[in-house]
Amino acid sequence: MESDATSTGNQGLLDRLEGGGTVICAEGYLFECERRGYLQAGAYVPEVVLEHPEVVSQLHRDFVHAGSDVVEAFTYYAHRDKLRQIGREGDLEPMNRRALEIAREVARETGTLLAGNISNTNIFTPDPDVVREVRQIFTEQVAWAVEAGVDYIIAETFGPDEEPLLACEVIKETGLPAVVTFQPDYTEDDRRHSAGWTAAETCKRLEDKGADVVGLNCGLGPRTMLPYLPAVRAAVSVPIAALPVPYRTHFAEPVMQSLTDPQLGMRPFPIALDPFTCTRLDIAQFTRSAYAAGVRYLGLCCGAGPHHVRAMAEALGRTPPASRYSADMTKHYYYAPEARELSAILPSPLETSSPVAQET
Ligand SMILES: [Zn+2]
């Protein structure tokens, strides 16, 4: 296994990005394992890594097959405070170590990058005692990731406040590359309750802390994430990341949490978002637009499926193994022989200006 370290070593991620290449990182393991019936919604911890590791291995493989360059260890929310809250603190270390082991096995087998993962704790405040506790949460998870031999560490799904800065600091103490992404505030009310920083300001602070890649993930769908990207690109010199949720958010309901469904009579987030799911064409369109805005680290968060990831890869001009089975409507009874006309309706880049998310 030692020889693998050279092909997917620490420099793999940064070399690729500095050379102008793109990196695709498939995410969304919580939602997908929940949909498959191996993880409980609500608790939302990666119990599947202990109870059905084969499901996680297969999902890693599915995402790589579809074009992901990265196998991200499924340690999202596997942190001490979250597990304590649901009475499973005893599973903390086994859950982290097993998730890393599963991811490592698939990354080595497929020649992809192996990423560790830490995330929002949901307890963060700037109070020094809380900062100390959260630092400890990050430190133990990062240490297990380092022991597992990860190529870099992803810190994700924070608010635009000091928590991602702290996560970045802890990762950089290990010397590994840090990819740090967060969800911007999207209402005035959010802004009053958080640090009040714009997405671009938060990215600049992260860059100053030493983050190697900065950007946005989760919450926002493709259409509502795009408007933030030009300001983020202008604010920093490091590569930037965009990993929206594949849901059809819009400017009146910019994040998946704010989507409403008149037929449902309750908030669709998080278990009834199905009718809002993006098509693969939406994702291809997003990918082209994000690339045009200067994003080179691309991916999808909660809700993503392998078909979305393949659409992203193909929009970047790649042919991942799953492209062997990409759609060909000339073979479809309903469309042939008119199928060639389908190419005429392929989407053009999304509009990137909007009344929401204007940041300077
Ligand atoms: Zn997410």
Q: What is the 3-state secondary structure (H, E, C) of the chain?
A: CCCHHHHCCHHHHHHHHHCCCCEEEECCHHHHHHHCCCCCCCCCCCCHHHHCHHHHHHHHHHHHHHCCCEEECCCCCCCHHHHHHCCCHHHHHHHHHHHHHHHHHHHHHHCCEEEEEEECCCCCCCCHHHHHHHHHHHHHHHHHHHHCCCCEEEEEEECCCHHHHHHHHHHHCCCCCEEEEECCCCCHHHHHHCCCCCHHHHHHHHHHCCCCEEEEECCECHHHHHHHHHHHHHHCCCCEEEECCCECCECCECEHHHCCCCCCCCCCCCCCCHHHECCHHHHHHHHHHHHHCCCCEEEECCCCCHHHHHHHHHHCCCCCHHHHHCCCHHHCCCCCCHHHHHHHHCCCCCCCCCCCCCCC
**Span from the CA of 68 to the centroid of ligand 1 (angstroms):** 16
**Span from the CA of 338 to the centroid of ligand 1 (angstroms):** 38
- Token couple for 242: 């965009």
Q: What is the pLDDT of residue 61?
A: 98
Q: How far lies 65's CA from each of 25, 46, 72, 102, in Å?
A: 12, 22, 14, 16
212 within 8 A of 179, measured Cβ to Cβ: yes
**Span from the CA of 309 to the centroid of ligand 1 (angstroms):** 15
**Span from the CA of 28 to the centroid of ligand 1 (angstroms):** 6
283 within 8 A of 308, measured Cβ to Cβ: yes
Q: What is the pLDDT of residue 357?
A: 42
**Span from the CA of 190 to the centroid of ligand 1 (angstroms):** 18
Pairing of strands 178-182, 213-217: parallel
**Span from the CA of 341 to the centroid of ligand 1 (angstroms):** 35
**Span from the CA of 278 to the centroid of ligand 1 (angstroms):** 14
**Span from the CA of 334 to the centroid of ligand 1 (angstroms):** 36
**Span from the CA of 10 to the centroid of ligand 1 (angstroms):** 25
Q: What is the pLDDT of residue 4?
A: 36
Place of tokens 């202990």: 50
**Span from the CA of 41 to the centroid of ligand 1 (angstroms):** 13
Place of tokens 């290449």: 21
Q: What is the pLDDT of residue 333?
A: 83
What strands lie across the sheet with 70-72, from one edge to the other? 23-26, 297-300, 240-243, 213-217, 178-182, 152-158, 113-119, 70-72
**Span from the CA of 243 to the centroid of ligand 1 (angstroms):** 8
Distance CA 135, CA 125 (A): 12
Q: What is the separation, in whole angstroms, between the first and last Cα of the chain?
A: 47
**Span from the CA of 301 to the centroid of ligand 1 (angstroms):** 4
Ion ligand 1 contact residues with beta carbon within 5 A: 218, 301-302
Q: What is the pLDDT of residue 39?
A: 97
**Span from the CA of 119 to the centroid of ligand 1 (angstroms):** 10
**Span from the CA of 29 to the centroid of ligand 1 (angstroms):** 9
**Span from the CA of 302 to the centroid of ligand 1 (angstroms):** 4
**Span from the CA of 256 to the centroid of ligand 1 (angstroms):** 9
- Token couple for 222: 């493709």
Divide the 360 residues of the chain into consecutive groups of 10 and give the mean pLDDT of each group.
38 89 97 98 96 98 98 97 95 98 98 97 95 98 98 96 97 98 84 84 98 98 97 98 98 95 94 98 97 98 98 97 92 75 54 42
**What domains are there in the chain, each with its CATH number?**
4-345 (3.20.20.330)
**Span from the CA of 48 to the centroid of ligand 1 (angstroms):** 17
Distance CA 308, CA 235 (A): 29
**Span from the CA of 73 to the centroid of ligand 1 (angstroms):** 14
Distance CA 320, CA 123 (A): 39
**Span from the CA of 299 to the centroid of ligand 1 (angstroms):** 11
Distance CA 148, CA 167 (A): 19
**Span from the CA of 27 to the centroid of ligand 1 (angstroms):** 7
